[in-house]
Structure 1
Amino acid sequence: MSTDEEQIRALVEMWLSATAAGDVDTVLDLMAADAMFMSAGQPPMVGREAFARGLTKLLTDNVIRSVSDIQEIVVCGDLAYVRTKLAVTITSKHGKTPMLRNGDTMSILRREADGRWRLSRDANMLVVVA
């Protein structure tokens, strides 16, 4: 496994653990300033600030736990993509029934000037599990 692949796997794990811990600042540090998040039926969410508002609002009343099964990592110079199977459980802090979502994701990462990989674009096809 290459150093780049190891760093990208570490980024994915840090993203999941920081989200579960409610550590929005760490999650934001893992993404490019111009990051874009795409999901079906919604306009793209663009930029750290937009993501921070959405995640902070979600974490106010919920805890998010995720499991990512990395299917593929391809590195080409300073760009890489990661394809995963993702399962997300959103549990209300107020006793409501947990929401389960799972599906495929495709993320594009960029090595930035400081040498760190950061998420640049993300598309997920998660669906609610009945």
Structure 2
Amino acid sequence: MSDTVLATDSAVHHAHEAYLTSINSNDVARFLTTVTDDIVFLPPNSEPIAGKEAVGAWVAGYFEAIQTVWTKTTVELVVADGLAYEWYRYHVVDTPRDGGESATDTGNGVNIYRIDADGTWRVWRDIWATAS
């Protein structure tokens, strides 16, 4: 499959950057501005987490326990009819806030973005899995 990426000045690319920056800020309120009200997380080895409130609670627990730094490199980004999908490769370093060794993970994921009523692209679905 070829690597197809939109220009880096596209609105969806800016949504990708805002989402990644919000994750790396470890700030729940900032993160929640980058997702839709009906966001669904599909994390590895877990049931789906649906809705902004539930995802916000999950993210709050994660940020409380972990200082996280993600790198997400877009492999493919396609936009059509108010939706966009992004296949990304990621590397994450999670450092426990109470001390201990950092854990790393590398894998692949898919974000689906949707234009909200205010005209802003936001993450609607996020699924990721470790590459092993």
TM class by shorter-chain length? 0.7 to 0.9
- Structure 1 residue 2: deviation in Å? 5.4
- Note the residue ranges of structure 2 that are not aligned, 5 or more in a row: 1-5
Q: Counterparts of 2:124 and 2:100 in 1: how far apart (Å)?
A: 33
1:13 is aligned to 2:17: yes
- What SS class does the counterpart of residue 113 from structure 1 fall into? coil
Gapped regions of structure 1 (runs ≥ 5): none
Match of 1:37 among 37, 41, 54: 41
Q: What secondary structure, in the 3-state scheme, does the structure 1 residue paired with 2:10 have?
A: helix
Matched with 2:57 is: 53
**1:67 equivalent among 71, 93, 97:** 71
What is the root-mean-square deviation of aligned Cα atoms in Å? 1.9
Structure 1, residues 37-56: CA drift from partner, whole Å, max 9, x if none? 11332110001111111111
Shift of 1:67: 0.5
**Matched-pair contact (CA < 8 Å) for 1:105–1:125:** yes
Query: Are residue 23 (structure 1) and residue 27 (structure 2) matched?
Result: yes
Matches of 1:31 and 1:7, distance apart in 2: 15
Kindly indicate whether the alpha-carbon contact (under 8 Å) linking 2:39 and 2:50 is maintained by their aligned counterparts in 1: yes
Structure 1 or 2: more helix by fraction: 1
Count of residues paired in the alignment: 127
Does residue 92 of structure 1 match 2:96?
Answer: yes
Deviation at 1:114, TM superposition (A): 1.0
| TM superposition shift of 1:90 | 0.7
For the pair 1:107 / 2:107, whether they are aligned, the reply is: no
Q: Do the aligned residues in 2 keep the contact of 1:7 with 1:117 (CA within 8 Å)?
A: yes
Task: Give the structure-1-normalised TM-score.
Answer: 0.88
Distance in 1, Cα, partners of 2:126 & 2:113: 9
Runs of 4+ in 1 over 6 A off after TM superposition: none
8 Å contact kept, 1:16–1:65:
no
Q: TM-score, normalised by structure 2?
A: 0.86
